[in-house]
Amino acid sequence: MSFRELKIAGAYEYTPRQFGDDRGVFFEWFKSSAFTDAVGRPLTLEQANCSVSAAGVLRGIHFTDTPPGQAKYVTAVTGAFLDVIVDLRVGSPTFGQWDSVLIDDVDRRAVYLPEGLGHAILSLEDGSTVMYLCSIEYTPSLDRDIDPLDPDLGIDWPTLARDGSPLEYQLSDKDRAAPSLADAIAAGYLPKFQD
C-alpha cells in the first residue's frame, strides 16, 4: 500500500496492494495504523456513506463548517469517478486550487481529505458506487456547497464517460443553486486555514 500527498496540503491518495487469483481479488481499502503513519493522525469514524450514480452525475463541491469540519476517506467500489478536492481554507497557500484522483474498480485508490477542504465526484459510468468514511455525522445545519462548474475554479471535468460516450452533467437542485467561490468568500462562510 502506498500514500501520496496531493498538491492540496493534508489531502492524500491511497493505492492499495491487491492480491488476486482465479477466485477474485483481496485488498485492504482502509487500515488505521497505515493511515495514521502516513497522515500523522487517526481518522475518527462517525458515519459511513454509500452512493450509487449514473454516468454524468456530479455531486459537490461539498464541505462542512469548520469547526468542527468533516474529514472524509473515499473509494469507488464499482465503476469510476473523478474525485476532486478543492482547497477552501481562506489563507491557505493553495486556496482556490484543486486536485483530482481517478477512483475506480481497477486501481482501487482511495482519497483522504481533512476538514476544511471541498469535495466533489463525477460518475464516469452508470451504476458507479462510491463509499466514504466520515469523521462526523452529517449535520444539515453545517453543510455548505460551492458551484462545481464555477469558471473561476477552472476544474477540468471530463467530457467523456469511461466507455468514451459524451457525458451530460446531472446536478441536484441544491448543487445547481450553490454559490460561486467569490460569493462564498463575500458571504464569509469559508473555513480559515490553520497552520
Q: Which residues are catalytic?
A: 62, 132
| Percent of residues in the chain assigned helix, strand, coil, to nearest 5 | 10, 40, 50
Among 41, 28, 50, 39, which residue's Cα sits nearest to residue 6? 39
Q: How far apart are CA 86 and CA 52, in angstroms?
A: 22
Q: How far apart are CA 92 and CA 194, in angstroms?
A: 8
Q: How far apart are CA 59 and CA 52, in angstroms?
A: 11
Spatial strand order of the sheet with 117-123 comes to 98-104, 80-87, 117-123, 58-64, 143-145
Q: Which residues of 56-86 are buried (b: 16+ CB within 10 A; e: fewer)?
A: bbbbbbbbbbbeebbbbbbbbeebbbbbbbb
Q: How far apart are CA 104 and CA 82, in angstroms?
A: 9
